[in-house]
Chain A
């Protein structure tokens, strides 16, 4: 995982009002927090997307009050979880209560560690796929399309789709088998 030290530097710049550093942090943690959000709520991805946006806006507005000496990733995971749970229970109104920021990061440390590890596996597996392979996997399993339907959708031959899918599955199996997981796709 690209150095936590790097993110610490970005975090400090962000606290001082650096927009670029802030957006880099958002980009770097987007997938992690999105998947993490899916652990806590049953809502669809659109909802998680909106919550993530609101959460980062909240951070931006309160940047001057944020602690600078933190583990960025665990902090974001824990704070975002609080944000979601608070949002679910109280339908998240105009201002988040201050406790969203004051949470003790270590309390959920075990939980976030475990998640980070599992997420790393998924991320490595996904990074092995080319964009075309990813698209095919997505259409096949997320949208339940048959290989023929995918071929029609992509205006490609059935053979091409089949090859893409086959190579994708080989990649994923290889990565996930390392961890004793056989992965279907």
Chain B
């Protein structure tokens, strides 16, 4: 057979389809051809790289304007989110983590689609830190993400929302301890990543990785279902699938085995309620946080009150104590309805 040329190849429709992987039959045809004619590999590769480069070039040109805008927004936001702090903070956390390890509490509910919460976070790339006294924010921080998910960050914990949050998946990076309640959205898996361990909520999707030099990550599941995986150069290894009330401690090192254990739900509830701070928070926000923290639907009869604000600080308090104080300051009362909801009237 005559030697083929780049010129010849570029005229074959099936060759273009092979390069762009747009037709399975064409792909098979040219793969077989390459196997039968290894001596033509150089020419085929040269032609293929021209086709692929051109295709990518045109794609790049289409994507460029939006990409430049996105980068501009990201770096401008970065400016407002304390850029120098970031590096120091991560270093410090890495040191602390090396000593004490990281415990990540990862919880996940199938939350019915909620009305849009006020988006506190998750515009694009940003760092939200809790418990660093130098920024004068409370030891703990409750965040509502734009997709309706909630994150309760323990003091000293830090979370980074991926710039592409919500486009294909909802990915966050965690250092320290946090509790998550992921809004249901099967199209965009919710993942928490910490080091090379990742936790993926199944159904609504959620991933957690824990690393930053930490030896281990602990994950406790309250409701729903999550998958815990270890990522390495060899691929992804499924460590465990957790069911409600199970916890697992996983190690960053490959050779350590992991073990599932039950955990006490009341201890977790105590942890969640150990410190709750509202500082001139709109009542609507206060109620949505209490609903999440105590897993209890709360209704407000007088919707005009949603705009009012509330300031208060609770530690290890029962829901009734919190409601007593809230209702006192709003000059309202509350009762449990027939269908087990709490109504503030």
What residues make up the interface of A, taking CB atoms closer than 8 Å to B? 19, 22-23, 26-27, 30-31, 34-35, 37-39, 45-46, 48-50, 52-54, 56-57, 60-61, 89-91, 93-95, 118-119, 122-123, 125-126, 134, 137-138, 141-142, 144, 176, 181-185
Whole-angstrom CA separation of A38 from B50 in the bound complex: 12
- Chain B residues with Cβ below 8 Å from A123 are 57
- Chain A residues with Cβ below 8 Å from B60 are 30-31, 34-35, 45
Whole-angstrom CA separation of A37 from B59 in the bound complex: 12
Whole-angstrom CA separation of A55 from B10 in the bound complex: 33
Whole-angstrom CA separation of A181 from B175 in the bound complex: 53
Whole-angstrom CA separation of A91 from B162 in the bound complex: 13
Interface of B is mostly: helix
Give the contacting residue for A34; candidates B20, B59, B163, B233; CB below 8 A: B59
Whole-angstrom CA separation of A82 from B196 in the bound complex: 19
Task: Tell me if B100 is interfacial: C-beta within 8 Å of chain A.
Answer: no
CB distance from B38 to the nearest CB of A (A): 21
Beyond the given pairs A61-B83, A94-B173, A118-B50, 17 more chain A to chain B contacts, judged by CB atoms under 8 angstroms and listed by A's residue number, are: A19-B72, A23-B68, A30-B64, A38-B52, A53-B67, A60-B75, A60-B78, A91-B196, A94-B193, A123-B57, A126-B61, A137-B58, A141-B16, A141-B55, A181-B6, A181-B7, A184-B11
Q: Decide: B63 and A34 in contact? CB cutoff 8 A.
A: yes
What residues make up the interface of B, taking CB atoms closer than 8 Å to A? 6-7, 10-11, 16-17, 20, 22-23, 49-50, 52-64, 67-68, 70-72, 74-76, 78, 83, 86-87, 90, 125, 160, 163-164, 168, 173, 175, 193, 195-196, 198, 209, 211-212, 231-233, 236
Give the contacting residue for A19; candidates B55, B56, B70, B75; CB below 8 A: B75
Chain B residue nearest to A181 in the complex (CB):
B6
Identify 15 residue pairs between A and B in the complex whose beta-carbon atoms are under 8 Å apart, listed by A's number.
A23-B72, A34-B57, A35-B53, A53-B71, A60-B78, A89-B233, A90-B196, A90-B231, A93-B211, A94-B173, A95-B90, A134-B58, A134-B61, A137-B58, A176-B50
- Chain A residues with Cβ below 8 Å from B87 are 61
Chain A residue nearest to B127 in the complex (CB):
A94
Q: Decide: B16 and A184 in contact? CB cutoff 8 A.
A: yes
- Chain B residues with Cβ below 8 Å from A22 are 75
Interface of A is mostly: helix
- Chain B residues with Cβ below 8 Å from A94 are 90, 160, 173, 175, 193, 211-212
Q: Decide: A182 and B6 in contact? CB cutoff 8 A.
A: yes
- Chain B residues with Cβ below 8 Å from A141 are 16, 20, 55
Whole-angstrom CA separation of A126 from B67 in the bound complex: 20
Q: Decide: B164 and A50 in contact? CB cutoff 8 A.
A: yes
Give the contacting residue for B20; candidates A39, A61, A142; CB below 8 A: A142
Whole-angstrom CA separation of A11 from B281 in the bound complex: 45
